[in-house]
Amino acid sequence: MGPGDAGDPAVNDVDVIRVHGQARLAGTVHVVGAKNSALKLMAAALLAPGRSVITNVPRITDIAIMGEVLRRLGCGVRFTADDPVDPMVAHGGVERSRSVVIDVPECPGAEADYDLVRRLRASICVLGPLLARRGYVRVAHPGGDAIGSRGLDMHIAGLARMGAEISGEHGFVIAEAPHGLHGAEIVLDFPSVGATENLVMAAVLARGTTTIDNAAREPEIVDICTMLNRMGARIEGAGSSTLHIVGVPALHPVRHATVGDRIVAGTWAFAAAMTRGDVTVTGVEPAFLEVALDKLVSAGGLVETRGNAFRVRMDDRPAAVDVVTLPFPGFATDLLPMAIGLAAVSAGASLITENIFDGRFMFANEMMRLGADIRTDGHHALVCGRDRLSGAPVRATDIRAGAGLIIAGLCADGITEVSHVHHVDRGYPDFVADLRALGVTVERGTVPEEPALEI
């Protein structure tokens, strides 16, 4: 009997990306809309019956999953090519971004199923808008990346202050507001992006005024507030730690362009520095990456900014720099794998501190397989740089770790094979084509997954 026949453990193919090391990135790469914004903008469309159009949406698997979430809520969802004036065609005509057309019914569904929510944590953001529209919502507890605990306590506490009754059963969060939501004074224990988004979307249709203190300040928060205001909401303070939302009776659909993806842009910035390259990144506001780019300057890089673009050039081996992740405008936690990659090839020792997610260092063992000298202790990692890493087979454990391992492989001798790169597909549209355009020898393929051993 061959593999997969009765009596043999099941064997599945796993996507892999192989990069040839000792590469130097050079050229220009364009960044499209932010995944972390587009997903929430799609949820915000639920607040207004009719047709909303969101442009500059990245062509990634998470967007497709969110589209299916909305379809099961009764929305019509279709993807189209962006307008010709939008940057969306590159690398031989491959579509980089799309528009999503969302037709929202007068009475959308009120339940988000587990089979989709477990695959995409961001789908919890339908909680706020559906509660505001329907007065009832049942959403499965979310899944997503395995990077640490990310509870819903602040979402639930804030909605409760707005008059919602929250309960849970069989793995679902159930929220009810039969008499509608009302304004409230809410203070978040931590500037959570997800909680801020859910509470803002609930508050725009609530009676009275809602104030959210210690709100998240990320550009993606500003983006969703901009879209909601264009829909007729009354939100003040976007980009600051205090948001004031005056509820309105109804919103109307709009057309809105997604803000550029600062995390993808930051990935290319660190890749340029790690490979001693010269890369220009377009499509994102450099101010969104001020702290990260400043770290690259401290490491010895040359950073030039102009308009909606920036250039990073590193001529010599980077110098070691310490990094501490913090909520925006601090150093983004999603760039921590790239910061560890930079430290792994820098001259000297770097102390990397993670303050957001308690599981971010899960991928450190994979980086060590490439020869990185990393010692972790709780929220800290001490990384002693080496001139070169060594190519090896490694496994992506989440979106950013996967990208970080691929970039680290560019600084290694030999070939690095990164498996389970479906994670990378969730955050980076056409990553392989971008690498090739910047001068990397890279292939994508599949290998059989090792079957689990019977015990």
**pLDDT tens-digit series, residues 88-128:** 434 444 466 789 999 999 999 988 877 777 777 777 889 99
Report, as an integer, the average pLDDT of 385-412: 95
Is the bond into 329 cis (omega within 30 degrees of 0)?
yes
CATH of domain 35-257: 3.65.10.10
Is 8 part of any known ligand binding site?
Answer: no
**If pLDDT is split at 50, 70 and 90, which confidence band does 11 have?**
low
DSSP state letter for 133: H
| The CATH fold of domain 13-31+261-448 | UDP-n-acetylglucosamine1-carboxyvinyl-transferase; Chain (3.65.10)
Closest CA to 263 of 65, 31, 421, 17: 31
* pLDDT score, position 113: 76
pLDDT at 47 over 80: yes
Is 356 part of any known ligand binding site?
Answer: yes
Is position 145 annotated as part of the catalytic site?
yes
* pLDDT score, position 361: 83
Is 35 part of any known ligand binding site?
Answer: yes
* pLDDT score, position 292: 98
**If pLDDT is split at 50, 70 and 90, which confidence band does 139 have?**
confident
Domain positions in the chain: 13-31+261-448, 35-257
Report, as an integer, the average pLDDT of 137-141: 84
Beta carbons within 8 Å of 22's beta carbon, 6+ residues apart: 388, 410, 411, 412, 413
Lowest mean pLDDT, pick from 60-64, 88-92, 234-238: 88-92
* pLDDT score, position 115: 76
Whole-angstrom distance, CA of residue 18 vs CA of residue 322: 30
* pLDDT score, position 288: 97
Q: Tens of pLDDT along 441-454?
A: 999 998 887 665 55
Whole-angstrom distance, CA of residue 273 vs CA of residue 296: 7
Query: Hey, do 13-31+261-448 and 35-257 end up sharing a CATH topology, with the first three levels equal?
Result: yes
Rounded to the nearest integer, the mean pLDDT of the chain is 90
Is 352 part of any known ligand binding site?
Answer: no
Report, as an integer, the average pLDDT of 227-232: 98
Q: Tens of pLDDT along 296-348?
A: 999 999 999 999 999 999 999 999 999 999 999 999 999 999 999 999 999 99
Q: Tens of pLDDT along 430-439?
A: 899 999 999 9
Q: Which of 62, 145, 223, 398 is catalytic?
A: 145
Whole-angstrom distance, CA of residue 92 vs CA of residue 85: 18
User: Are the C-beta atoms of residues 259 and 235 closer than 8 Å to each other?
Assistant: no
Q: Tens of pLDDT along 273-288?
A: 999 999 999 999 999 9
pLDDT at 46 over 70: yes
Lowest mean pLDDT, pick from 55-69, 194-208, 216-230, 351-365: 351-365
Is 36 part of any known ligand binding site?
Answer: yes
The residues that bridge with 58 in the sheet, in sequence order, are: 97
Computed on alpha carbons and rounded to an integer, the radius of gyration of the chain in Å comes to: 22
pLDDT at 410 over 60: yes
* pLDDT score, position 100: 97
Q: Quickly count: other Cβ atoms within 10 Å of residue 94's Cβ.
A: 12
